[in-house]
Chain A
Amino acid sequence: MAAAPNHRASPRRASRRRLPWGQIGTHLVLLLLAVLFLFPFYVMLVTSFRSPSELFTPEFHLLPQEFTGLKYYIESITTSPVLTFMKNGVIIALGILVMQILTAIPCAYALAKFEFRGRNLLLALVIFALTVPIQVPALPLYLGLNALGLLDSYFAAMVPFFLSVFAIFLFRQSFKSYPDEIIQAARLDGLSEWAILWRIVVPGSIPAIAAFAVFSITTHWNDLYWPLIVIRSNELMTPPLGLATFADVESGENYGALMATATILTAPLMLVFMLAQRQFVRGVTMTGVK
């Protein structure tokens, strides 16, 4: 790149010397927003490393005056069931995700690639259902689960989310762009419709599925509303529910341990994000060169 300066390069270099004010402005705004979003996380992290006495001093220090090391982390893991919360979070978030993918993919494929009476009406219903929040069917769901004696179980925490209209909509958009001729070739090759869907079409929609997975895991890992309604026992509590309970019980002094717990419970989400990001890029290149 650096070798052989030519005529084409010179005008570009000249323009680079002028300051791109527009870009600087954009980046300043983005930086401001990033600070705004990251500040609570920063406070959480820093609080988990400083002694509680520092919290209520009049002056604010960016770094702990007295670094407590892993003290609160060890305390959190040994005295609170944080690992149980995490295990529950994993089971519930993954259980929901797997069921959502299993149910949404066939629905989306039918809506995207089959001609049948009422297809447009069904699609309209899917889009309409996107606008209905969980709070609307919460009471009937609660009553139903109660009548079946299923309250306070993993199943109760997961079942309202097994069918995701958002996933159906997203996957339908992705499947719709899959070339018909490849599907027809697969039919001639003798693959069943089921095999065509899972072995041919789904591998072409990995980016959409990965995007949805990130969305779904984040939502259900962080969800407080529904677990608060159906979960009672400590052994079944999800991270936010556990954290809320933990904060109530130990309120007052122990902010350090509380923030250490919060950090531990947020870490897996960060990890998923970073892994999925790599998956995204791979998925995009896979379809991009198709």
Chain B
Amino acid sequence: MMSAGVELDRIEKTYGATTTLRAATLDVKPGEFMTLVGPSGCGKSTLLRIIAGLLPQTSGEVHIDGASIDHLPPRERDIAMVFQSYALYPHMSVAENVATPLKVRRLSRMARLPALGRLLPGQARTRREITDEVRRVADLVEIGPLLERKPAALSGGQRQRVALARAIIRDPRVFLMDEPLSNLDARLRVTMRAEITALHRRLGATFIYVTHDQTEAMTMSSRVAVMMDGTIIQCSTPQGLYEAPEDLRVARFIGSPEINVVASDTVAGWEGGNTRLGQLLQRPLHIAFRPEAVRLSAESAAQTDMLHLSCHIERTERLGHDVLLFLRVLADGAGVTARIPAADFARLDAPGGVLTASLHPADLLAFGPDGKRVALPGLAAATNRGLSHVG
């Protein structure tokens, strides 16, 4: 079946007095792999269930290819979902699990009756087709040898594949995946990540993939929607989210280690750089900069157009290729995290654990008191400077 675009238009969901979703709006293009990322409890599962029709929204509309589907029951929406707990039917074999969606659609009600149904005439061919289809899909996700087993006799990764097969066999317009990898161990998660993206390319269907893991979000898809407190606050490419977050919460959520955030009063006191910086920071703002924007080399310390901070090294963490330095600004006590390549760290000159950290004003992101991004015309657009490090 053709893939389809999904539009969510100001979806609200309230449970009594508590609001779980507020004006969640999202536009997923046909055939796109859209990742929905956000901390636990922000309403991701609730949103997926509303798209699938398993839960009614309080207000707002769900459209598929421009047509509202809010009146359709789950089975008529042509949407398949993979659940976090896999949700396999425990008393059925793997083959029966995978065949269920097809049996429901292609066999008559009578023919589906246990035992008796097989005796009805005129369905042998349909049954054979279903068996072939199950075999084909099982081979696709490599569970061919497991078809006769019960779910209880499978490992987590195998159950995950069965759940995928049960979704694939329906050939749906849209796949929904609710944290499908969160119950797997770290190694398996990395391989399954690659398999799911490969599956997306092969099927060409629209995927909406939910996760609370930002690494998963940043590595799997071309566009990522960040969800917080029941609403989607930014939808962009992984690169865009990292370099040009529109909300302080996005800036903090994306990227590890976390972005540095300092009050503008403190930054105004920092020496050097653009002389206009002090004037620009008249009103209270949050100033944020990525750990890799902090330069520690002697050359940077000599540049006149940069801000310079005398810092004390509190702690270092070696991450292999990179080193994290946790610095404390001597003048005002602000904490700053820096990330530099291990080779540069070896050449670092820090007598008594004190060194000069330098920042280019263009690398600073400013956020208003409400957390929304504020453009400071004096700061050249940070996006153009090409901070290349993602994740």
Contact = CB atoms under 8 A, between A and B. Distances in A.
B109 to A, nearest CB: 9
Contact of A188 (B74, B89, B91): B74
Contacts of A286: 90-91
A187 B74 contact: yes
Q: Which of A189, A190, A191, A290 counts the most B-chain CB atoms under 10 A from its CB?
A: A189
Given A188-B52, A189-B101, A179 B85 contact: yes
Interface string A267-290: 000000000000000000011011
B49 A188 contact: no
Contacts of A290: 90, 151-152
A179 B151 CA distance: 15
Nearest to B172: A188
A190 B166 CA distance: 12
B330 interface: no
Taking residues whose C-beta sits less than 8 angstroms from the other chain, chain B's interface range is 20 to 34
Nearest to B79: A188
**Chain A's interface: helix, strand, loop or mixed, by majority?**
helix
B120 interface: no
A186 interface: yes
Taking residues whose C-beta sits less than 8 angstroms from the other chain, chain A's interface range is 20 to 34
Interface string B56-99: 00000000000000000111000111011101111100000000
A203 interface: yes
B20 interface: no
Interface string B144-175: 00000001110000000000001000100000
B153 to A, nearest CB: 8
Contact of A191 (B81, B88, B104, B114): B104
A190 B87 contact: no
A287 B150 CA distance: 12
Nearest to A290: B90
B105 interface: yes
Contacts of B89: 182, 185-186, 200
Nearest to A199: B114
Contact of A203 (B81, B83, B91): B91
Q: Which of A185, A186, A289 counts the most B-chain CB atoms under 10 A from its CB?
A: A185
B215 interface: no
A187 B80 CA distance: 10
A181 interface: yes
A184 B105 contact: no
Contacts of A190: 75, 101, 104-105
Interface of A: 179, 181-182, 184-191, 195, 199-200, 203-204, 286-287, 289-290
21 contacts: A179-B87, A181-B83, A182-B88, A184-B49, A184-B74, A184-B83, A185-B81, A187-B73, A187-B74, A187-B75, A188-B52, A188-B54, A188-B75, A188-B80, A188-B81, A189-B75, A189-B100, A189-B101, A191-B75, A195-B112, A204-B90
